[in-house]
Structures are given as structure tokens and as C-alpha cells.
Structure 1
């Protein structure tokens, strides 16, 4: 007896309903990307290993899916590494390619490789799947889509202003009102570490600070001291533990705290420019908030940092994020190519919309009518009408088999098709169609134009 088939952990099959809902989200994101001037590109699902390895840190490298070389992949394996079971060193000799971990590094490779064909500033969007050998959990999968928009070749902060507007426009269109677009700046975090004399412990400091909402002030202070940050240094950043007020008030507090740090003050002025202009232009339904504990991608981002939290009524992690990077393409030899980008978390957005019951009913709408099959003659008559209805953009279909009528009606019911079109000898003689409402049971006799109008 054959074993029951299965799929790898962290991957999913999607039903027609789920695909329709995902496409609904993707279409809204895509249309707004294009509305804001972003152009689509696509890159291969797998890259040369050297393109990906070493770009995400040690943890990232561990999560990259490696692809074994085709054929006898052990033929070129290093005998010493094989004998010593040194998997880290062995991998490079048996695997020359890997599935992409994200869309950003492939994008950097794309820019460098096609730099002579690209008109800068280059506004690109990309909606494709990525793969990570992570531990699956709610909202986290091993195969998932990323929806990225980036601008490279410009240091203008107006790009950050527009990206905040893009977030707001997409989430408003999706009906997700009350999302919080959190913003911070890498320079501010560096400035804080500098002011307290802990520049060498920037990562430890920010990782601890990022846990403020989870372990509280005392927990953060304890972790900082365990990492070697002095009590005196922690005392200097006491204002951060009660960092409240409007965005303007928060920026003013940072100006005082970071007055002696050139790097920190640059971050303050960048934040002031972005936030002031966003607030002047206004947002539709989103909330902009300055969050000094936000510390994503410290080894990567150099300026503004973004993270989007769902409405407070939903328990879910971030549904978007991004930031400014000053040397993305430097990893491939093209220096001083500044960029800024954001990403939408498709899978988490789906879960949030589902939980809040915000998907329109029309998203999963199936065929409007099923033509009942009474035989070849009747089927041909029906298909002539079906052809015309489809040309008018109306979703209709013919039941393929001359099965029992009850079975055909049951099929329509299970598919959620609201109407049945009945064509027998009487209808063909009068060049008409009987349209039955499968919800109310009402049935009417119509000519083609009447049928078309009823199903429109």
C-alpha cells in the first residue's frame, strides 16, 4: 500500500479560495507600486552560492537552502573534509547554487550586473517567493513571498517620505485601518551608544533596548549590565525608558540627549525632515510613530528604519519593514550606491485580513452560472451562449457530463455558483434560456439579452 503523500514542513498548498485572496492582496500591492513609479523585475529562484553566502551573517548562512550539484556531486568533494565530516567546508565543493534567501541581495546583484542598462535613480519592485531553512511557526514559513520596493541611486529623504505614503496607501486600500508605521534611524542608535561611551557595544545595547516592551525597564537594564554596559551609561539613557509624547516632542528629547554626537544629530535631522513632511502631507488611516527601540538590521541599514505593526486588535508580528542602506551594491564591488526600500509581509497580511474578516466577498466569487448538460445538442446550444457571455466578461461554465440533473445542481451548490441555466427542447425551440436562482429557487424564461443582463 502506497504511503500517503505529504509536503515539506514550512510549505503549503493553497486552495482556489486561498489563491484568490492572496492574488487580491498582491494585486493591490502591485498596482500601488506602479502608481508610485516602481518598475517590476524578476530574478532566478536560485543564485550562485557565492552571491548569497556571507551576506546575511552566520545565522543567515545557516538558513540558506543549498542545492546539491547535479550528477555525482561527491566526485569533486574534498576527501579530507568528507572524511572529517566537516559539513561547513564540504558544502562549497558539493553545492555551487542555493535558493534565494531574500529579494534584496539578488536585487543588489542585478543592479551591479545591469548597471549600464539602468537609468538611475532606479525604482524597482519585486514580488517573488524566497526560501529559508527556518523553524516553522505561525506567520513564519520556509517558503514564502516577499513584496519589495526599493529606490537605488538617490540619497534624497523624499524617498523615505514617499515610502511611508506607499505603506499607508496600500494598507488603507486593503481596509487595514490603524496600522502603525514605526520609524527610527540607525544614526540615532549609534549616537546613543556614543554618548554613553558604549560604541563598541552598539549591538548589545540595541538588542536589549528592543526588548523593552517584552521584559520591561528592569529587565532591559539587567541585560545591558550583563553585556558589560556600565550603570552610569545606562543612567544617561534613562529618558528612553519613558519615551512618550508626540513625534515632535520625541525628536526634541532626542536633540537634547544627542547634542554631543554628530552622528546622532544627523539622525535626528533626518527623522525631523521625514516626519515633518509626512505629517504635513497627511496619512489616510495609518499612524506614524517614532520608536527609538526599533533596531532591525543593524548590520545592514545606515539611516531610516521602518517597521509596520498591524492594528492593535490583532496579535501578530510586523507586517512590513525596511530602511535606508548606503552601500548595498558594495558587496559586489559597486561602491557608493545609496538606496532605500520597504517590504510587505504577504503571509502575515493575509492572516490579519482573514482574522478581521476584511476580504470582500467578490474576491472568491466563482462562476456566475452553471449551464446544465442534458446532452450533446443542448450542450452545443448552451456553449454558443457561453461563448458570448464570456466575451462580455461574465464567468459561466458548462457541466461537462450528461449526468443526473440532481448531481449537476449539487455540484453548483458545492461550488457556490448562484445560478443554473437550463436548456431543453422547449428553450431551444423558443431560442431562450431558463435561469434558476439557486438561492431563492425562482426560475424565469429569458432571451439571450435578458440572460446577459441578469448575469451581469
Structure 2
């Protein structure tokens, strides 16, 4: 029976038009990145699990795709366990002449361990590479061996054949992996994971290549990332991120330039009226301090970040579930009701955070950015202070950015980022400040599509199709096409000597605007008949005239 073709949920195929539109967005972003002095780098699709785990908070960690070890690792271990069980069965048969003489774990543990080592050096090497001691392995496996063997009548067990022991071994292997499943899949057999974003791999890159990098280092990266998320509108399991970061500078002018960069990209895409929301992690830390929830900062910010999705009451419920006190929640009320201009909200924050030094420091940083942008001006974007913006990621330490689509478009954030002063310290390079932003390519695509902002000519592919009348005529067409292609004209020859109607239908279905006919008459006169597929108009031309029209 033929298999029904399908792809995993949260992934997509892209046709030629979609690829062209995505390339249009990426090219504009890339152009602006380079205009602002960023250099391109690329990192692997997957990283060591330890590089990614623990960097995104509990919710983020749950969304990381883990990769099972490739090759014959699992088979080697299973075969080793089978050998071990088989040998241990033979030893147990030696001891088990009656039920009263059934040995304890302690009596035969050393002998079984020796048999395991003798059974497979590869398994020992594999377990050692996973930092798993043979003693631990034996202690985990032995009770299961005993459980299965004890379920067999001892008298029958004594006369078990080798084949019978193999059957027992298969049962034991199944129970063993079921017993170890959580630890086994996340540790023993999953040393690698697909990257969750581009920022943490970038931090790893910076530390690993620090002797080759000139600081401050400005990089951009346009590559796919993966998240084990629940697919919904605008949210995918595989999607592209377009990141720009600066490391090695604490200057707030970097944040100012990133606001300008957002404005430049969305203006170039003709996506006017986006809102660049900004907050500061220091302000959130200050608020947590004021309400007495310093030890619950992550829980507090994760809940607060959901305000626009689940509403005020649900956020409060989540905070209560994380043991934030009622008194603390009541002190948050001014945040939920905060409104007015950027400057007005700054004034309110100064009042709320008057007893928190770190909170006031965050306010000071936001004030600097806002005043700089006021002097410089933005083309089409709006800068807005949003004190509930938290972006529940552990590594932000200063400014936090999030970009919302123009009003009237229902879409999650189409960009985001922030400052991370200590991210590289997890890889052994402390005191290296960084700040970066990301563009959500797939969501930007959906917004441009919804607002009909893609240029009409964006998907132009083949401009002219040469009709194939036979071998001699096709060769003449190829000679002409070589000249056209050298001048940038996208052209192709219908590969088969098919009926004229079929070739014309092919051009029409692919929206190719022109076809060229080269028959016996054209060959003799060294001309080309050009047909406009929209108007039906035909004209006989020399090659230079043909090129002039098609260019």
C-alpha cells in the first residue's frame, strides 16, 4: 500500500512564489544589517545539549528539540545488555538449584559485573563516555533481571535453554529502558539538541572564537531554529530568525541604534506603523523587590509577560499559584493601569520604584534611549514603553524589545530582543556585555501577505519560453538564450518536442509573459518570432531587437 505523503505539524513546504517572497524579506533585512555595520556568521543547526539547556527558563527548556544519538550506540548497548543478561542467567542457573538457595543481589553482583565487562568492551566504553559507572548500571539492571527470572518457576529455569534465556533477556531489556526512560533519553542518548534560538549559540561562538574576534563585535545571522511548540497561526516548530547582536560594549547607544534598525527594516518593507515596545529587566527586578518577590523574579516575569494574552485576572491567578503574596499583587495594580506618553510613564515608574536602586537604574537607561530617539526621530515606527513586557527568558539583564505589527493586524510579536550582560559567562567568559534583536521572518511574511505589501514583480521568474520545434530549431534557440542570459534575461527552452498547444499551455500556466518561436522560416531569415502571452501580439525580430524588448 502506498504511503500517504505528509510533513510534521508545525513545518511547511514553500513553493517558488513563497520562496521569492521570503527571499525578498531576508534580502532587505540583510541589506540593513550590513548598512549598520553587522558581519555575517553561521552556526550549526544543532548544539551540544548542555549548551542550550538551562538558558531559557523552565518553559523554554521544555520546547527544546532533543536529538537521539545517531549510529549504533543504542544497538551496542542493547546487545551488551542481552549478553549480560544471558551470562547472568547462566550464572543464576548455577546457583538456583532450589528456591531456598536463590542468591541475593550482593552475593552475585561482583560476578555479574565481571560477566558484563567480559561480554562487551564497547558497552563499557559507551557507558564511560556518558559518565555512567558500571556499578550504577549493574544496580539499575540487576533488580529487573531478578524480577523477570523470579517470575519463572525455578525448576523450569534451571533447565532453560539458551533460547529461553534470550526471550527473558528481551523482556528485561524492555523493562530496563522503560525504567530508565526519562534519564536515558535526556542524558544517555541525547547529547545534542536543535537550536532554540540564535543568541545562545552566538554566545558560545563568541567564547569559542574570542581570540579571532575584534571587540566590539557586531554580527548578524539568518538561519532556521526549532521549537517543540504547539502549532497555531503565526507559530511554527521550524522557522527562521534574523538576528543582529553586538558584544563587548555597554554603551546604550547600541540600544538606540537597534531601535533605528527596526525602524529602517520595517520602513524598507513598507510595513509602516509598527510599535517597538521597550522595557528594562532592571525595572522588573525593582518591581519584584518592591513587592517582596525577589526570590520569585522568573515566575513573576513569566506571568507578567502573558498579560496581553490572558488578561490581568489570569496573570494574578498565575502569580498566586507561584506563591506571590496578595499584598505584593496589590502593589502591582499601578502597572496594570499605567498609561500616557513615554515621559509620563517614566515619571510614574520613578515614583513606584523610589525605594529600589536597581529599578531606578533601569528607568534611567530607558530615559536615555527615549531622549536619544526623540532627537534622532523615527521614519515610520513608534517607540512605546511597556512595563509589563518581560519576555520570560533568563538571560536578559537590561533593555528588552518587542515589535508589534500595525494596529488591526492580529499577530504575535514580529521581532524582539534585549541586553544580556552575563550570557557569555556561562561559557567561561565573564564581563562581556551584549545586546541584540531578532526579526521573526515567518510572522513578518504573514503580515505583509495580509496587508498586500509584497511588490507585484517579486515572484517574476522565467521571462521568456522558447518553443521546441525539433533538434535543429532547439539548438538555435539555445544559442539565442545564451546571449539573453548573459544580459540577465531569465529564459528557458521547453525540453520536449511536444505539440504547440501543450507548450503554449505550459507557458500560460506558469505565467511566463513571452514565448519565442523559431521554425524553418525564422532559421532561414535569422529572426525570432516573439509572442506576448497577455495581448497575443506577435512580431518578427532580430536578436538585438529581441534583447532590447526583453531586458
Scaled to the shorter chain, the TM-score interval is: over 0.9
Assess if the C-alpha contact under 8 Å between 2:57 and 2:393 holds in 1: no
Assess if the C-alpha contact under 8 Å between 2:55 and 2:393 holds in 1: no
**Which of these residues, 247, 268, 275, is aligned with residue 180 of structure 1?**
275
**Which of these residues, 168, 179, 182, is aligned with residue 85 of structure 1?**
179
What does 1:45-444 correspond to in 2, within 5 Å?
45-62=45-62, 63-74=64-75, 75=77, 76=126, 79=137, 80=140, 82-83=176-177, 85-91=179-185, 92-221=187-316, 223-225=318-320, 227-444=322-539
Give the aligned CA root-mean-square deviation in angstroms. 1.9
Distance in 1 of aligned mates of 2:265 and 2:295: 39
Distance in 1 of aligned mates of 2:513 and 2:337: 57
Assess if the C-alpha contact under 8 Å between 1:145 and 1:347 holds in 2: yes
Work out which of the two has the higher radius of gyration on C-alpha atoms and give 1 or 2: 2
**Residue of structure 2 equivalent to 1:43:** 43
Q: Tell me whether 239-248 or 216-225 shows the greater mean CA deviation.
A: 216-225
Distance in 1 of aligned mates of 2:53 and 2:306: 29
How many angstroms does 1:64 deviate by? 2.4
How many angstroms does 1:219 deviate by? 4.8
User: Can you give the 5+ residue segments of structure 1 that lack an aligned partner in the other structure?
Assistant: none
Distance in 1 of aligned mates of 2:521 and 2:377: 63
Q: Deviations over 1:402-455 (max 9, x none)?
A: 110110000001111011111112222222111111111111111112111111
How many angstroms does 1:293 deviate by? 0.6
Assess if the C-alpha contact under 8 Å between 2:282 and 2:359 holds in 1: yes
Assess if the C-alpha contact under 8 Å between 1:131 and 1:144 holds in 2: yes
How many angstroms does 1:224 deviate by? 4.2
Q: Which runs of 4+ in 1 moved over 6 A?
A: none
Q: Tell me whether 32-41 or 3-12 shows the greater mean CA deviation.
A: 3-12
Distance in 1 of aligned mates of 2:480 and 2:337: 69
TM (normalized to structure 1)? 0.95
Give the number of aligned pairs: 456
Residues 188 and 25 (structure 1), Cα distance of their counterparts in 2 relative to 1, 3 Å cut = same
Distance in 1 of aligned mates of 2:228 and 2:312: 34
TM (normalized to structure 2)? 0.79
Residues 279 and 408 (structure 1), Cα distance of their counterparts in 2 relative to 1, 3 Å cut = same
**Residue of structure 2 equivalent to 1:6:** 6
Distance in 1 of aligned mates of 2:361 and 2:36: 28
Larger helix proportion, structure 1 or 2? 2
Q: Tell me whether 77-86 or 312-321 shows the greater mean CA deviation.
A: 77-86
Residues 400 and 83 (structure 1), Cα distance of their counterparts in 2 relative to 1, 3 Å cut = closer
- Secondary structure (helix, strand or coil) at the match of 2:73 reads coil
- Secondary structure (helix, strand or coil) at the match of 2:443 reads helix
- Secondary structure (helix, strand or coil) at the match of 1:168 reads helix
How many angstroms does 1:213 deviate by? 3.7
How many angstroms does 1:2 deviate by? 2.1
How many angstroms does 1:202 deviate by? 2.8
User: Can you give the 5+ residue segments of structure 2 that lack an aligned partner in the other structure?
Assistant: 78-125, 142-175
Distance in 2 of aligned mates of 1:377 and 1:357: 46
- Secondary structure (helix, strand or coil) at the match of 2:251 reads coil
